[in-house]
Amino acid sequence: MMKNYRIALLPGDGIGTEVMEAAWPVLQAVADQQDFGLVGDCLPWSCDYYLEHGVMMPPDGVEQLRAFDAIYLGAVGLPETVPDHVSLRELLLAIRQGLDLSVNERPHRLLAGVTGPLRTDKAFDILCIRENTEGEYSGAGGRVHQGGDLEVAVETSIFTRAGVERVLRYGFERARLRSGKLASVTKSNAQRHSMVFWDEMTDRVAADYPDVQVTRYHVDAIAARMITHPETLDVVVASNLFGDILTDIGAAIQGGLGFAASANINPVSGGPGMFEPVHGSAPDIVGKGLANPLATLWAGALMLQHLGEAAAAKNLMTAIEKATASGAGTPDMGGSLSTAQLAQAVQAAL
Ligand code: GGG
C-alpha cells in the first residue's frame, strides 16, 4: 500500500503564503515520482488569525500538530498589525518549545550556478546547528515600573545541562558523519556563567567523540570567519541567539535569505519536525511575485530527508540545482522569474 505522510501546512504571513503556494506542488510532484503521498492539511494560524481570534493559534494548537508527520511553515509576522514579539513567540517559538524541537539545523552552501557575495573560489559547506528551545529565547524575565523613570527590563537566558548536552551531542553526531570538525560557539570571555558552562559541556561531550576535532570560537570571531574563511568551517553549534544571528550570516554568504532553509527537530523523542525557510514574511515585497521559493523548497527537501524519503530529498535537491545551474532565478538572484515560475522551473527539472 502507498505510504501517505500527513503534513501540517502553515503558510503564515506575508510572503510565507506565496512561497508555500509555489513550493507545495513541487513537493507533491517529487512524492508522486517516488510512489508515496503527501497529504497537506492547511492551518490558517497567522497574524490574520490573531486579529480574528486574539491568539496566533488555538490553545490546543501544539497538541493538534502532534497528529502530523511533519510541519511545513512559511513565515510569521506582520509588524504593522501584530507586534513581532507577539507573533513570533506565540506561533513559531511556541511550536518549537511545545514540541521540544530543540535542534535547528541550517545548511549554508552555494547552490550550483550561484556565486554569492564572497566570490570565493573555495567551496564552503557549513552546517549550523542552533539550540532552539532555551538559552536567550527562553522567554524568562519581566519588566517593572513600565513607562516610568525607574523602568527595568530583565531577559534571562536559561541553559540547562540537558538542553546544552543534547544540542552538542547532535552536533558531534553530525560532525562524525561529515568532515569530523566541529566549532563550538560561545562568548565565554564575557558571559562567565552560561557560556563557561557551555564550554565545560563541550569538553564533556567531546570526550565521547575522540574522532571529532573541536575548535572553540567566540561568536564575534566566528562571525568574521564565516565571511573571510567560510571554507574552514563545517559543523557549527551555537546557542539560540548566536545561532539565529550566525545563520543570517550563513544565508548572506550563500546568496541571501532566499536560499536559507531550516529544520527544527526533536532529536530525543522524535515526533513531527518543523521545516521552514529562514526568512520572515517580508511585508515590503508581498504580492509582487518577488519572493525566492528556493529556501522553502530546500526546507521541503530537509523534510523529505527527515521523513526517511532520502531518494526524494536527493531528487528535489538535484532539481533545484539543475534549475539554478541553468540560470533560472528570481530578481534577488539577478534573474527575472516570479516566485511561481522559479518553482515551476524546479518542477520541470525533476
Ligand atoms: N520562516 C519563519 C519565519 O518567519 N522566520 C522569521 C524569524 O524571525 N525567525 C526567527 C527565528 O528563527 O527564531
Question: Is residue 244 within 6 Å of ligand 1 at its C-beta?
Answer: yes
Tell whether 111 is covered by a domain: no
Using one digit for the tens of pLDDT, what is the confidence trace for 170-182? 999 999 999 999 9
**Residues 133, 248: one domain?**
yes
Using one digit for the tens of pLDDT, what is the confidence trace for 185-226? 999 999 999 999 999 999 999 999 999 999 999 999 999 999
Tell whether 346 is covered by a domain: yes
Tell whether 283 is covered by a domain: yes
Domain range holding 239? 117-253
Could you tell me how many residues make up the chain?
350
Question: Is residue 277 within 6 Å of ligand 1 at its C-beta?
Answer: yes
Name the domain boundary from 197, 232, 253.
Answer: 253
**Residues 138, 11: one domain?**
no
Rounded average pLDDT over 282-296? 97
pLDDT number for residue 253: 97
The number of distinct structural domains making up the chain is 2
85 CA distance to ligand 1 middle (Å): 11
Asked if 59 contacts 91 with a C-beta cutoff of 8 angstroms, the reply is no
Name the domain boundary from 223, 253, 283.
Answer: 253
Residue 122 has pLDDT above 90, yes or no: no
C-alpha cell at 37: 503521498
**Residues 248, 190: one domain?**
yes
Tell whether 68 is covered by a domain: yes
pLDDT number for residue 321: 98
Q: In CATH, what number is assigned to the domain containing residue 215?
A: 3.40.718.10
Taking alpha carbons only, the member of 338, 342, 281, 303 closest to residue 111 is 342
**Residues 133, 232: one domain?**
yes
Residue 104 burial by CB count (10 A; 0-12/13-18/19+): exposed, middle or buried? Answer: buried
Using the atom order of ligand 1, give the atom closest to the CA of residue 12. Answer: 4
